[in-house]
Each structure stands twice: as C-alpha cells, then as structure tokens.
Amino acid sequence: MPTSGDKLGPYTLHELINSGGQSEIWLATDEAGQSFAVRLLLNDTLFAFTDKARFSTGAETLKACQDGRYIIGYVDHGKFGGHRALIMEYVEGANLKLLLTAGDPVLTENIAQVLIDFASALEVVHDRGYMHLDVKPENVLLSRNGSLRLIDFDLAQPIPNPPRKLDKLSGTPAYMAPEQLLKQPVDQRADVWAYGVSAYELLTMKKPFPGENADEVLRRQLDRKDFISPRELNGDLPVELQRIVLRCLEREPERRYPVTSVLVHELKQALYVN
C-alpha cells in the first residue's frame, strides 16, 4: 500500500487518518495545495469482487447524495496511480463515537443541533432514493465548529417499494433494526431505527439494546424486559425528545417515522431549534 509522500495522480499523501478492515483514509493535497481525504481500498486484487463492488457502489451513492451541508463532499473516484480510491472533502474533526467517549464539549454543548443535523443527513439520503444501512455514531463526523457530515455509504442501497429482504446481513448488530436481524424485508425505516439507537446512545452514553452478538441484541429488542427509557438515565431530557427517540425504536416498522422529514420537523419543535 502507499506511504506518506506517495503520489496518486494529482494527489500527494501526507498522513494516515484512519485504517479499517477494508480501506485506509489519508490526508492528501492536490497540486494547488488544497486538502482532501483519500480513501484507498486495501483489497484490490483480481478476485476481490465483493470489496471492489461495495467500494464502487458506496462512491456512486455518495455522489448521488451530495447536498453541500450534511453529507461528506464527493470529489472523484476511480483508479489513481494504480490504486482504487475515493476522493472526498477533508473535515478536520472526529466521529461522534470518539467525541462521546471523550466527553468532548463540541458534542455535549451542541447536542441538540447535532441530533437535528444527523436526522437531516438521513433525510437527504432518503429523499435521493437510498437507505444508508450503516447508520451509527462512528459514521458521523463533527468538525471543531460543529459542522456535521454523514460518511461511509458502502452498504447503501436504493429504497425498495415494497420492502424487501437484504441479500446479506451486513453492518453493526447493535444498530440493526429487528427486521434486519430477523432477515425480514426492510426499507428506509431501518435507518430510522438506527438513528434512534444512535440518539439514545448520544443522550445517555448507553445502548438501548446492548449485546455481545446479533442474537443477544435481537433478544433484547424483542422482549424489552431490560429496556431503560432515556429519561431514566438522563433526567435532563425533554419529555418530547424522549417520545421522538422511542418512536424511532418502535419494534414494528409501521410505528416508526415513515418519512424522515417528519422526524426532522418534530426534533426542531422539541428542541426549539429553527
């Protein structure tokens, strides 16, 4: 794989920002000195069909969901210097999971706006005809000035009508809706569930349905014997905000928000943010 100082077409790599199972993200500059985030596919071998298809699909979906405000900016994707790469806007900040763990004031002092902007990002994705299917705090960046960006569209798919079963169970079980874990048909309301789990976690520092594996998470989702309402863990929460989070976490998809714009509208009303 490339190292610091290597050139990928017009881009020069400088610093490894993050490394995961399938890709690395580098800080890079172009010939004009402008900064970008460059995501490199780690397994780009001849027979890595799934990894390459997922990487390409994610890049194309990101391109289709551009809004200039809540979605990480798309620049280009393809082969650069022999490496399969996605060129994106560079955001100096951290993901919500890291900020939550650190108790960072950029999150804690702006939590109302973060919750609204997070839901607004999903609204953009859904309005463009896609479901993200990997909604979680780790996939949301927050800059030092409180600007939010949704990232990682590798699992995204067009919204089906009617809902349909997914070919493969992919994602993080703690944020998967019951219908996903049961391998039943899904649509964009699975993202609404994942948003509810994320919001609950950001507001209480705990997951609503914790578990070591998918089976344990599903058991807790279905029986709810150990479920604790958000206000029991954080008494400062407005009653209306708790109602919104609990509606996102309804067991039956039909009882959740069918349209994300309604979720955004109700969040703004509950949190008195225009």
Starting at the edge strand found earlier in the chain, the sheet holding 23-29 runs 7-8, 11-19, 23-29, 35-41, 83-89, 74-80
Active site annotation includes 51: no
User: Would you say 230 and 204 are in contact if contact means Cβ atoms under 8 Å apart?
Assistant: yes
Q: CA 147 to CA 137: how far, in whole Å?
A: 14
Q: CA 92 to CA 129: how far, in whole Å?
A: 29
Segments in 169-259 forming alpha helices (H): 178-181, 189-204, 214-223, 230-233, 239-248
Catalytic residue among 6, 76, 117, 134: 134
For residue 55, give every residue at least 6 positions away whose Cβ sits within 8 Å of its Cβ, in sequence order, or none. 22, 23, 41, 84, 86, 154
Helix then strand then coil, in percent of the chain rounded to 5, is 40, 20, 40
Active site residues: 134
